[in-house]
Amino acid sequence: MMSVTRIYRETPSAARARASAWREGVPSSGAGANGGAAAREVRLVQREDADFPRLLQEIPAPPERLHVRGRLLDEDALAVAVVGSRQATPYGIEVAERLAFDLAARGVTVVSGLARGIDSAAHRGALEAGGRTIAVLGSGLEAIYPPENRRLAARIAAQGAVVSQFAPGARALPQHFPERNRVIAGLSLGVVVVEAAEKSGSLITARHALDLGREVMAVPGRVTSPTSRGAHRLLKDGAAPVEGWEDVVAQLPRRFRDCVSAAPPRGPRAGAGEGIGEAERRLLALLGEEPAYIDDVVARSGLGAGRTAALLQALALDGLVRQLPGARFVRAGRA
Whether residues 187 and 298 share a domain: the answer is no
Give yes or no for a contact between 159 and 269, defined as CB atoms under 8 angstroms apart.
Answer: yes
For residue range 183-215, list pLDDT tens digits in order: 999 999 999 999 999 888 899 999 999 999 999
Q: What is the pLDDT of residue 316?
A: 81
Last residue of a domain, one of 208, 233, 262: 262
- Partners of residue 126 on adjacent β-strands: none
Whether residues 83 and 158 share a domain: the answer is yes
Whether residues 319 and 253 share a domain: the answer is no
Q: Which amino acid is at 21?
A: A
For residue range 233-289, list pLDDT tens digits in order: 999 999 999 999 999 999 999 889 888 866 656 555 544 555 567 888 888 888 866
- Nearest by Cα to 134 from 98, 101, 158, 99: 158
How many structural domains is the chain composed of? 2
CATH number of the domain residue 297 falls in:
1.10.10.10
User: Which range of residues forms the domain containing residue 23?
Assistant: 8-262
- Nearest by Cα to 143 from 176, 167, 177, 179: 167
Whether residues 86 and 193 share a domain: the answer is yes
Whether residues 253 and 294 share a domain: the answer is no
- Given CA atoms 82, 89, 159, 108 in this order, what sign does their dihedral have? negative
Residue 133: DSSP 8-state:
E
Whether residues 189 and 283 share a domain: the answer is no
The set of residues, in sequence order, having a beta carbon less than 8 Å from that of 167 and lying 6+ positions away, is 67, 140
Give yes or no for a contact between 130 and 269, defined as CB atoms under 8 angstroms apart.
Answer: yes
User: How many CA atoms are closer than 13 Å to the CA of 279, on its beta-carbon side?
Assistant: 12
pTM of the model: 0.72
Instruction: Please state at what angle helix 305-317 crosses helix 278-286, rounded to 10 degrees.
Output: 90
Whether residues 202 and 157 share a domain: the answer is yes
- Nearest by Cα to 102 from 74, 128, 75, 77: 128
What number of other Cβ atoms are within 10 A of residue 175's Cβ? 7
Whether residues 217 and 326 share a domain: the answer is no
How far apart CA 78 and CA 109 sit, in angstroms, is: 6
The answer to the question of residue 137 being in a domain is yes
Q: What is the pLDDT of residue 3?
A: 33
Whether residues 214 and 289 share a domain: the answer is no
Question: What residues in the chain have per-residue pLDDT under 50?
Answer: 1-35, 270-271, 335
